[in-house]
Structure 1
């Protein structure tokens, strides 16, 4: 970002903002976190000094198989830094290379293959040494039925390759998640390598409309609580958790028992991610965090939801997202078309009676949340005319002009700018005090 801070992450670069005279911007960023001086040493230290578990070398000793979960291409996880040292440790402990699987935790997303898979893994040695495969949530024969969760009865189907492995490790990035509270850890298991029945239950209105299923909240969050019950059903599961700064550099890594090591990462990043403001704004300008999150409109919805605490009711939220890969899945496209056809209230009414959500319609349901608060505008260089129509939001051809028009419309010269989009969680102190 520039010294002025008036840029938004967009694709693999940034968009510079030129504000009208008299505009009073407040730029909301994560607090600066010190970069690790030696990534390799930090990763090795985490593997050798775990949280609530034995070191990785001891965990691997005597095992014949291991499955390492990695996030899909929508998350900028630094797999290139930690996969090789993890796998080398497993090999040195006696696990044969053909007994090690790196499994891409796609959830219900599309698989990552070819050049994209190479980019995701980030290390040709890993691809040449062990199996790297994708999870397919709709392949029912590829999952083990572990029975329903005890509290809410969520059906639990988990990829057989992970269930059957003698050593199970999830890896990921810990960042705010607009529904599960925080990404990483248990979330990489479910929905990451869960069957469609499990994922569609998570994405039903029963969870989506729960007021505690929001970003940065784990207490009473029904989705988080179900995820904990699922990993407990599996038995021993371990996790490597990473935290990145705005430049996508590693600032924290932890390894250990999946729940405890994840909470350590949450504790580290929470104070830097939740940014307090003294007021709400009639104009909020944000992004979809740039590549890879802004590859599709489907992922862009996250950036619309996370700033809602500081958006003045009736105000304008302007989001920039490249959408270089287009819209998203055909199921998401169909859900958005139904939203446009039915309108928000009738669309929501079609969801509330369902036990299992249709694939990807949950993201459309999440889009209803910002639409209830104010005016949503999208600047994008992607999407066809039909795709733009079924976003159900207002498309703006000029970002600077849209900002100027919003300031004039509101009569308020103040605006909030969130360069990194959903990776920053702004909260209004007045709102907190009133609650």
Structure 2
């Protein structure tokens, strides 16, 4: 048997478990170099925050300010904010700010709200117990600040806009729209009103060739985020790169455009794998964004023989897939403005078979991918292997994707 460990359950026990695959199959373990990098420690994190790659230090920015806000990414992103936030608030206190002048806001965009169980996982006990932590509500309490150059109307979180020091903590990972997440994406869509978020996603149709995983330069969606960050007045950004265990391996602090550019440049190698295709079977794990597992299946499609391949999606998210007010279903045949219901048989237009390994399955979690009855749902790896043994009685070319939610494939000539 081939034995390949994969990461699982980032926000729970954060463990690895072992895939077993038959010896008769040709198996390739697709694992970007950045996944194996070691974590940096608290002193290195603090040093990088204290010494931004451009512009003034956070302490200098904070001096004389009346109110500070720290927006942070949600549970669909792997950023261990609790490793960063204590250094940020310590810096604000050194600059003379009191606890009652500092608050945190989830940068949810169109995702659902979170409770304090999740806040403790993300921020740590100390932050939750000492500073207010608010959800972002895209449907009300937003302030209009203008438009982007392409006409996207900008409404932003009222609490965020009321502060004169605006800080954001997030991560750099490949993103299907903006090329690489990071920068001011925590502002648009992170803190935007629902109409702004809808208009932002409309940009996908303007020039699809200028969007996509790893497609960072001249990306039209990133340009919208940049314009939004300027309009909102984002003062200081911290962008982290992470490994296969969700640990910070590097971070960039300073002006958001500079951190995004530097992080994406490193991210191209950190998260990238050489071009590869023509697989009979792709086993695609969803780890960092297990609650947005559809991203991993998109990655599998780039690997498989068109219409002939079999995909296994590992979606181990006890909480299920994150609610999305723009993209997901909100009823039997309707949803957010960009929801696209999938008819029965849609999967077979793309691949021969889809197997979903979900220890906690439900009937709505595949709405971004397919009709639920088009997939074979199982709860354990032995069940998957029993199906695959029958489907591939001889040799097969197999790809194991360590985490299809934060990887991207380089171009053929790269």
TM-score normalised per structure 1: 0.82
Work out whether residues 145 and 156 of structure 1, in 8 Å CA contact, stay in contact via their aligned partners in 2: yes
Cα distance change, pair 371–257 in 1 and its aligned pair in 2 (3 A): farther
- CA shift at 1:309, angstroms? 2.6
- CA shift at 1:209, angstroms? 7.7
Among 15, 18, 28, the alignment partner of 1:16 is: 18
Cα distance change, pair 205–239 in 1 and its aligned pair in 2 (3 A): closer
1:16-48, CA deviations, whole angstroms, 9 ceiling, x for partnerless residues? Answer: 3232341010000010554255x2221222222
Among 401, 413, 421, the alignment partner of 2:396 is: 413
Among 395, 415, 422, the alignment partner of 2:405 is: 422
In structure 2, the partner of 1:384 is: 362
Q: Distance in 2 between matches of 1:116 and 1:203?
A: 27
In structure 2, the partner of 1:145 is: 144
Work out whether residues 378 and 396 of structure 1, in 8 Å CA contact, stay in contact via their aligned partners in 2: yes
Q: Which has the higher helix share?
A: 1
In structure 2, the partner of 1:130 is: 131
Q: Distance in 1 between matches of 2:391 and 2:275?
A: 20
Report whether the alignment pairs 1:306 with 2:306. no
- CA shift at 1:369, angstroms? 10
In structure 2, the partner of 1:181 is: 179
Among 374, 389, 396, the alignment partner of 1:404 is: 389
- CA shift at 1:359, angstroms? 5.2
- CA shift at 1:328, angstroms? 4.5
Among 32, 35, 38, the alignment partner of 1:35 is: 38
Report whether the alignment pairs 1:101 with 2:124. no
- Larger CA deviation: 190-199 vs 279-288: 279-288
Paired residues for 1:286-365 under 5 Å:
286-289=284-287, 293-294=289-290, 296=291, 299-314=292-307, 315-329=309-323, 334=329, 337-338=332-333, 358=336, 361=339
- CA shift at 1:372, angstroms? 5.0
1:188-214, CA deviations, whole angstroms, 9 ceiling, x for partnerless residues? Answer: 111111111111122337449823321
Q: Distance in 2 between matches of 1:328 and 1:187?
A: 18
1:105-131, CA deviations, whole angstroms, 9 ceiling, x for partnerless residues? Answer: 111112111222211211x22223222
In structure 2, the partner of 1:342 is: none
Report whether the alignment pairs 1:56 with 2:49. no
Cα distance change, pair 393–336 in 1 and its aligned pair in 2 (3 A): farther
Among 218, 221, 235, the alignment partner of 1:220 is: 218
Work out whether residues 242 and 253 of structure 1, in 8 Å CA contact, stay in contact via their aligned partners in 2: yes
1:122-169, CA deviations, whole angstroms, 9 ceiling, x for partnerless residues? Answer: 1x2222322211111111xx1111222112x11111112222211111
In structure 2, the partner of 1:346 is: none
Paired residues for 1:84-95 under 5 Å:
84-95=86-97
Q: Distance in 1 between matches of 2:45 and 2:54?
A: 17
- CA shift at 1:313, angstroms? 0.8
In structure 1, the partner of 2:208 is: 210
- CA shift at 1:277, angstroms? 3.8
Q: Distance in 2 between matches of 1:172 and 1:393?
A: 35
Among 139, 154, 157, the alignment partner of 1:159 is: 157
Q: Distance in 2 between matches of 1:205 and 1:167?
A: 29
Q: Distance in 1 between matches of 2:302 and 2:188?
A: 27
Cα distance change, pair 244–206 in 1 and its aligned pair in 2 (3 A): closer
Count of aligned pairs between the two proteins: 397
The CA RMSD measured in Å over matched residues stands at 2.9
Q: Distance in 1 between matches of 2:247 and 2:204?
A: 37
